[in-house]
Amino acid sequence: ETGVTQTPRHLVMGMTNKKSLKCEQHLGHNAMYWYKQSAKKPLELMFVYSLEERVENNSVPSRFSPECPNSSHLFLHLHTLQPEDSALYLCASSHLAGGPYNEQFFGPGTRLTVL
Amino acid sequence: EDKVVQSPLSLVVHEGDTVTLNCSYEVTNFRSLLWYKQEKKAPTFLFMLTSSGIEKKSGRLSSILDKKELSSILNITATQTGDSAIYLCAVTTTSGTYKYIFGTGTRLKVLA
């Protein structure tokens, strides 16, 4: 079990549904990340939060909406997704970049299927 | 555009074999290179390399960075079936403070 947890682990939703993914880290980190992992593609960085402020948004469609209420929790709100959004969504956390210990720790991911 | 390329894309070996996985990068303002192992879901951290020529070792795994060649290798000796996984390489830069650029990974399968 890692210090980063994600729920749910699996999610099947229709294109008109609204759902949320949750990530929680217990490592005292102050940066949190959402990644999308599709088959045969590199991990795609979606959003980065540092000290609860969004610092990176990699041209992600507005149907994905992140929220970081505090440095331990990160949400990804999903609305009117497309079938091509089906993927593994990984959350990660790290100490603030710039120091010597900036490796990321990943959660187990949410396997999302959009019908 | 920053890029990380891993090779081979996939590899099948037998237990006891030694494997070498490659990671090459083209980025602006390189800071560090990281290796991760992804078995079922969550990638787990293996090594972080920042200096050229210094080998990092953990059990049967070792890795080294060559900044001249813009590459790194990950060696696994005496492979075991438990080494079967996707091995991911990521590079960080000083320009994108929170940017981790990942390769597609190498899928390793170790047969008993």
pLDDT given at position A59: 79
Q: Which of the two residues, A96 and A100, has the higher pLDDT score? A: A96
Q: Looking at chain B, how many residues does it have?
A: 112
pLDDT given at position A2: 58
Residues A31/A97, Cβ–Cβ less than 8 Å: yes
CA B60-A35-A54 angle, 5° bins: 125
A interface mutation test: which of B33, B98, B104 has the most A CBs within 10 A?
Answer: B98
CB contact under 8 A, B41 and A88: yes
Nearest Cα to Cα of residue B44 among A23, A44, A104, A87? A104
- AA identity, residue B4: V
List of chain B residues with pLDDT < 70: 96-98
B44 CA to chain A: closest CA distance, Å?
Answer: 7
Facing B48 at nearest CB: one of A41, A42, A103: A103
pLDDT given at position A40: 78
Number of Cβ within 10 Å of residue B74's Cβ equals: 24
A71 CA to chain B: closest CA distance, Å?
Answer: 15
CA distance B53 to B63: 10
CA distance B41 to A7: 13
Residues of chain B in contact with residue A43, where contact means CB-CB under 8 angstroms, are: 88, 90, 100, 102
